[in-house]
Amino acid sequence: MKIFLLTYLLVCPFFCSGQALPYIHHTEIGVLMGKDAFGQRGNFSVQTLQGVRFDRHQEMGFLIGLDSYPGITIMPIGMGWRGIIYPQNWFSWYGGFDLGYGSTILERMELGDWGLHSWFEGGIMYQPSIGFRLRSNGNSTFTFSLGYKHQVANYYEGMPSEDPWRERLDPRDPVHWTSLRRDRMVFRNLSIKVGYAWR
């Protein structure tokens, strides 16, 4: 919730000021490559950044995406920054940094035998990247980037001490649980993405 509030406070002044700064879109699609207990993996990723261009060299905005990992789908939400070198050229280098929270809102709580509860919760996400842009016309460019994406998530499994069929129990309150286990998952990824940016 704090991430949403911070994002709103940072982005809203730009969007509510009559579009004083140029509005930009940057949508990317690609693969997240990493390693887990079962070996090498490659997972689908899509992300869009909606924001403003502060000057010829810097863009910043709100981002939302979808990352499909083995057994879990995470929706990254946060802020993204892009810095562009020689933006006036048809070929230009750029760097980026994304910071936010990986939401597991698409994952449902499972109620198993005897009232066993299991569910996912998200965690911090950050991603530095570097890439290049190819201008297709005056207002749009194709992009290619390499980056490192760090995503944290948590898996909970527990037996409630109260009504076992009650769905919303606080995992941080031990009074609600006879037993509760948390497994922390950290996804470390090489990110390879292509995209399209326009304004």
Domains of the chain: 2-198 (2.40.160.20)
- Counting beta carbons within 10 angstroms of the beta carbon of residue 66, is it exposed (0 to 12), middle (13 to 18) or buried (19 or more)? middle
User: What pTM value is reported for the model?
Assistant: 0.81
Residues linked to residue 86 through DSSP beta bridges, in sequence order: none
- Locus of tokens 């390879």: 192
Per-residue tens of pLDDT for the chain, all 199 residues: 444 444 444 455 444 444 578 899 999 999 999 988 778 999 999 999 999 998 889 999 999 999 999 999 999 999 999 999 988 889 999 999 999 999 999 998 887 777 788 889 999 999 999 999 998 877 889 999 999 999 999 998 888 876 655 555 666 666 777 888 889 999 999 999 999 998 8
